[in-house]
Copies of this chain bind each other. A is one copy, B any other.
Amino acid sequence: MSATAQNTAKNAAPKTAITPTRAEDFPEWYQQVIKAADLAENAPVRGCMIIKPYGYAIWENIQRLLDDKIKDCGVQNAYFPLLIPIEYLSKEAEHIDGFAKECAVVTHHRLEKDAAGKLVPAPAAKLEAPFVIRPTSETIIGEAMAGWINSYRDLPYKLNQWCNVMRWELRPRIFLRTTEFLWQEGHNAFASAEEARADALHMLGVYREFMENSLALPVFAGEKTADERFPGAIATYTVEAMMQDGKALQAGTSHDLGQTFSKSANIKFQGRDGQEHFAHTTSWGVSTRSIGGLIMTHGDDDGVIMPPAVAPYPVVIIPFVKDEAGRGAVIAHCQKLAAQIKSLGIRVHVDVTEERSSNKMWKYIKSGVPLRVEVGDKEMAAGQVTVTPRDLGKDAKQTIGTDQFLAELPKTLMALQTRLLDRARKFRDTHVFDVKTVADIAEFYKADKMGLVRADAAILNDPALVAVRKEFSLSPRCLPFDAPGTVLIGRSY
């Protein structure tokens, strides 16, 4: 536990919905928050997860919002095969080293019962050439593009797919690093190196805007150092968020692949000059790990807090039923209110279960619904609602007229979204420390401080950095665009 965290622990309220608290044990808090909000669970397949309905609804909202932005860039969605022939991987040397290492290999196409009656891969159904389950699709999409691109008139060519990918993880962690995960992977091809670079940076900008405005994650946008590049890329750009334990999380990456994949897959076009040229390609992706980033950025000791833009439902209405006789009337009133909220284009849930009201309250606190709206006999009679914003808690609870509530609702949710972003930005900005030497870095992490350090990029050439990186599990996160000539270094997910 860091010094800052210990300090927080002393001042922590005695009772929280999540045990342990963030200060007590951040990794375990993370697991408990996911469980309490019913977002996901570990699957019986090692390293894989089951994304439960409440967690999947976040992903659906991410998909809808990000897909629109991607399409606005002139990108078209398509779908490519799950299985990749091994020979495709073999064509690109760096890519093999990066990806062929830990991936799922399909070797047979049939099961049969053995002598003991046990199901086993049928020896007669062994594939002549095995396949891997895609860890990423540069190779197979590149091969297809090679057949579709002929002339400079076909460029730029912009494709995206939403799919599952698989990388055999040795230390899996739910949402953050799972053997199977969901993502979008974009693959664009251009006539010139300049256009490819500009596109890689443009897509990073799309991610930055999405992370900040939709997930309320303030991010450092920057370039990865050569060692941290995607295998085969000539430049990898990244958006790095900061979690509440001071670790960085790579929330999205965009790669300028130069001609690496166009040469291995033979993506050629006839230029305006009549000559054949290799295209310049990019690829860029955001995955379900962004949900992990959202949890670790906004959660508190009572559970997750959902940014309204991606919350499964930004508003929950909880009918307070005093006596069974009045039950129907209160619920009908709440349903009517829900319909009015829906007509504003805002997702809403009415909890009509017979669970005790206090249990319901805690349920929605733990699942981080941005606004809890209570309606009982009293409110109903007075034409009022009692509203509690999740991030400010019961001190901010207020009873207001229903008309006023509805009129202000879009603004109220926007304000909550902005508060989450501002709070996260403040946390981040107070946890980045300027250092001068490798010794400063060692001292910082030896003192168990939380956060990232920022140094002159020349520090990357200091041979002493190697040992310090190893001792404290540090890595250069990026060369941030907002502070040219510097590098951000720290721990990461």
Min CB gap A209→B, angstroms:
23
Bound CA span A109–B167, Å = 9
Contacts of A125 in B (CB 8 A): 105
Decide if A149 is an interface residue (CB 8 Å cutoff): no
CB <8 Å contact, B119 and A168: no
Known contacts A77-B57, A96-B119, A119-B100, A111 near B86 by CB under 8 Å:
yes
- Using a CB–CB cutoff of 8 Å, the interface residues on chain A facing chain B are 41, 43-45, 48-53, 56-57, 59-60, 76-86, 88-90, 96, 100-111, 118-121, 125, 130-133, 140, 143-144, 159, 163-164, 166, 168, 180, 182
Contacts of A103 in B (CB 8 A): 109-111
Bound CA span A143–B41, Å = 13
CB <8 Å contact, A53 and B76: yes
CB <8 Å contact, B85 and A111: no
Please name 26 pairs of A and B residues whose Cβ atoms are closer than 8 Å in the assembled complex, sorted by A: A43-B140, A44-B81, A45-B81, A45-B131, A48-B82, A49-B81, A50-B79, A50-B80, A53-B76, A53-B77, A53-B159, A56-B77, A79-B182, A82-B133, A82-B164, A82-B180, A90-B118, A90-B119, A100-B111, A102-B110, A103-B109, A104-B106, A105-B106, A107-B107, A109-B168, A164-B164
9 smallest beta-carbon distances between A and B, as pairs: A53-B76, A105-B108, A51-B79, A48-B81, A109-B168, A100-B111, A43-B81, A105-B121, A45-B81
Bound CA span A81–B49, Å = 7
Contacts of A44 in B (CB 8 A): 81, 85, 88, 140, 143
Bound CA span A59–B53, Å = 22
Contacts of A85 in B (CB 8 A): 44-45
Contacts of A57 in B (CB 8 A): 76-77
Bound CA span A51–B80, Å = 7
Contacts of A45 in B (CB 8 A): 81, 83-85, 131
Min CB gap A140→B, angstroms:
7
Bound CA span A121–B101, Å = 10
Bound CA span A130–B105, Å = 10
CB <8 Å contact, B110 and A168: yes
Bound CA span A79–B77, Å = 21
Other contacts beyond A105-B109, A164-B164: 11, CB < 8 A: A41-B144, A44-B140, A45-B81, A53-B76, A53-B78, A82-B164, A89-B111, A89-B119, A103-B111, A105-B125, A107-B108
Q: Which of B96, B102, B118, B180 contacts A83 (CB 8 A)?
A: B180
CB <8 Å contact, A82 and B166: yes
CB <8 Å contact, A77 and B60: yes
Bound CA span A88–B111, Å = 13
Min CB gap A214→B, angstroms:
19
